[in-house]
């Protein structure tokens, strides 16, 4: 590519490429040049030395302040479901009457959010879950029933009876779900139990029976979080002591919840747990109450054993997530920072600044992430990619070369390059 005119030369990617189509560019003149993208297009920059890694940079996606509490993502990171809590704040204090307590969905990675109207209202939400394609959603809250949607949140239906639900998870296709109930307040219906759901063939999503786990090992406990593998065969649930004693464990199952075992370590504040797609790699965060010791742990054997990965802090962790292959992890703190790992949790790096971070979720490859601030904005992070659409691209200079190959779904891969590029 040579130019006889001054200024930056814009090179537009083909608008309708076929998979396998190749674009080769060489900068021959002294002009700066830029690869420009069409709507919906982006470039995979993972092969460039200066590419941002998972969770490295964060920017506000929607500055509207909401009392964000939980978030879940589709596999591509574009479809989101999030809950705001109108009953309690992140600090555990009661909120004024009329505080927001709704479910929201987004189809553009949190740039815009749509408040969803439910047939009944309950301002207390504790957890949300999403299928891989983002069409099947679920939400639970203390004193609430289980709410599900089969149309990306456009309509919702309720099932099960009201319990003090604290967490819900689902398989990649949504056909299996698991939810847990807090042990306190004592005497409430189904207190301290794990419940499992399998969709009956031919039945509508979300309809049918939730069955309490009959296990002496995973019996009545103060459950705070549950996660499952993509096929629903491996599960892990975190039991919490609320800062008391005796110490508790993370409990795991490798047979779709039929039998359960306790981990070999015990914890005082096991709070949030998430698993890789195959259920073998896990990340767990200790946290809550705010004075609780905050520690991050990982497991590579479905939860049987755990390794502490960071120095204990006095700041509680509120949420964690993990990529499908278990190599990338995110954890957010209440009044602390976002912590990211790109080596399966061996090392962690503090990102952004101290905020009341409440929820975090990432795409299956870990390259797109969303984090929510309690009483604040929603934030987005993009790794190993240019920004999608016309605002994204790559800028090069004289003697730079690059070869791009179209992979489908708007994504171009860099198959060869020389020189340093500016990622936009």
Q: What is the domain-level CATH number for residue 294?
A: 2.130.10.10
Determine, yes or no, domain membership for 221: yes
**Could you tell me how many residues make up the chain?**
424
Q: Does 398 lie in the same domain as 276? A: no
Find tokens 């969303």 and name the residue: 370
- Asked whether residue 300 falls in the same domain as residue 228, the answer is yes
**318 with 399, same domain?**
no
Same domain for 406 and 316? no
Q: Give the Cα separation of 256 and 100 in Å (integer).
A: 36
Q: Tens digits of per-residue pLDDT, 40-78?
A: 899 999 999 999 999 999 999 999 999 999 999 999 999
Closest by CA position to 377, among listed 44, 55, 68: 68
Distance CA 390, CA 68 (A): 30
CA 413 to chain centre: 24
Residue 39 included in any domain: yes
4 burial via Cβ count (<10 Å: 0-12, 13-18, 19+)? exposed
Same domain, yes or no: 102 and 40: no
Residues 298, 250 share a domain: yes
Same domain, 141 and 198: yes
pLDDT at 98: 45
**Domain-located, residue 339:** yes
CA distance 230 to 228: 7
Which residues lie across from 10 on neighbouring strands?
34
pTM (predicted TM-score): 0.89
Q: Are 114 and 153 in contact (CB under 8 A)?
A: yes
3-state secondary structure of 365: coil
Residues in the chain with pLDDT < 50? 1, 91, 94, 96-98
Report if residue 341 sits inside a domain.
Answer: yes
Q: Are residues 190 and 317 in the same domain?
A: yes
395 domain residue, yes or no: yes
The rounded distance, in Å, linking the Cα atoms of 369 and 365 is 10
318 in the same domain as 414: no
Alpha helix locations (H) across 8-76?
A: none
Distance CA 131, CA 169 (A): 9
| In-domain check, residue 4 | no
Burial class (CB in 10 A: 0-12, 13-18, 19+), 94: exposed
The pLDDT of residue 192: 87
361 found inside a domain: yes
Residues 44 and 183 in one domain: no
Pair 291, 246 in one domain: yes
Expressed as residue numbers, the domain containing 410 is 9-50+386-423
CA dist 303 and 264 (Å) reads 9
Other C-beta atoms closer than 10 Å to the C-beta of 145 total 18
- What is d(CA 129, CA 330) in angstroms, rounded to the nearest whole number? 17
Residue 68 lies in a domain: yes
> Are 305 and 284 contacting, i.e. CB atoms less than 8 angstroms apart?
no
pLDDT for res 189: 59
Give the CA-trace dihedral at 373, 374, 378, 384, to 10 degrees: 30
Residue 163 tokens read as 């319990």
CB atoms within 10 A of CB 91: 12
- pLDDT for 240 equals 86
Element holding 329 (H helix, E strand): strand 329-341
User: Do residues 147 and 156 touch, judged by C-beta distance below 8 A?
Assistant: yes
Write down the pLDDT at residue 89.
Answer: 53
- Extract the tokens encoding 257: 């919840």
Cis before residue 246, ω within 30 degrees of 0?
Answer: yes
Q: Do 90 and 74 lie in a common domain?
A: yes
Quote the CA–CA distance of 243 and 236 in Å, as a whole number: 21
Beta carbons within 8 Å of 108's beta carbon, 6+ residues apart: 78
Considering its fold, how many domains does the chain have in total? 2
**End-to-end distance of the chain based on CA atoms, in angstroms?**
21
């Amino acid at each position: 590519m040579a130019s006889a005119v001054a200024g930056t030369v814009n090179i537009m990617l083909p608008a309708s490429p076929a998979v396998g189509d190749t674009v080769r560019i060489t900068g021959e003149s002294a002009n700066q040049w830029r690869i420009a993208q069409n709507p919906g297009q982006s470039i995979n920059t993972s092969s460039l030395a200066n590419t941002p890694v998972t969770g490295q940079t964060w920017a506000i996606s929607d500055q509207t302040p909401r009392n964000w509490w939980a978030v879940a993502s589709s596999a591509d990171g574009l479809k989101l479901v999030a809950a705001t809590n109108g009953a309690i704040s992140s600090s555990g204090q009661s909120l004024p009457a009329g505080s927001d307590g709704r479910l929201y969905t987004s189809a553009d990675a949190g740039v815009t959010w749509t408040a969803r109207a439910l047939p009944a209202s309950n301002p207390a939400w504790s957890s949300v879950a999403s299928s891989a394609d983002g069409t099947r959603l679920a939400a639970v809250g203390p004193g609430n029933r289980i709410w599900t949607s089969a149309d990306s949140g456009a309509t919702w239906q309720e099932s099960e009876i009201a319990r003090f639900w604290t967490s819900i998870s689902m398989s990649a296709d949504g056909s299996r779900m698991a939810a847990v109930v807090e042990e306190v307040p004592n005497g409430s219906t189904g207190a301290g139990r794990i419940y499992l759901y399998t969709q009956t063939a031919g039945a509508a999503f979300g309809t049918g029976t939730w069955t309490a786990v009959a296990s002496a090992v995973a019996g009545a406990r103060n459950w705070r979080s549950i996660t499952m593998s993509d096929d629903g065969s491996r599960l892990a649930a975190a039991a919490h002591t609320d800062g008391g004693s005796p110490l508790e464990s993370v409990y795991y199952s490798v047979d779709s919840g039929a039998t359960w075992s306790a981990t070999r370590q015990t914890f005082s504040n096991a709070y949030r747990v998430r698993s890789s797609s195959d259920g073998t790699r896990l990340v767990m965060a200790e946290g809550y109450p705010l004075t609780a010791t905050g520690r991050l742990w990982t497991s590579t054997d479905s939860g049987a054993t755990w390794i502490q990965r960071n120095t204990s802090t006095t700041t509680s962790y509120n949420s964690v997530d993990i990529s499908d292959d278990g190599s990338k992890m995110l954890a957010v703190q209440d009044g602390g920072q976002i912590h990211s790992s790109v080596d399966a949790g061996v090392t962690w790096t503090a990102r952004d600044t101290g905020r009341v971070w409440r929820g975090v979720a990432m795409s299956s490859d870990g390259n797109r992430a969303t984090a929510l601030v309690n009483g604040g904005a929603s934030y987005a992070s993009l790794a190993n990619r240019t920004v999608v659409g016309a605002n994204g691209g790559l800028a090069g200079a004289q003697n730079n070369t690059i070869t791009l190959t179209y992979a489908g779904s708007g994504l171009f891969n860099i198959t060869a390059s020389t020189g340093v590029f500016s990622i936009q």
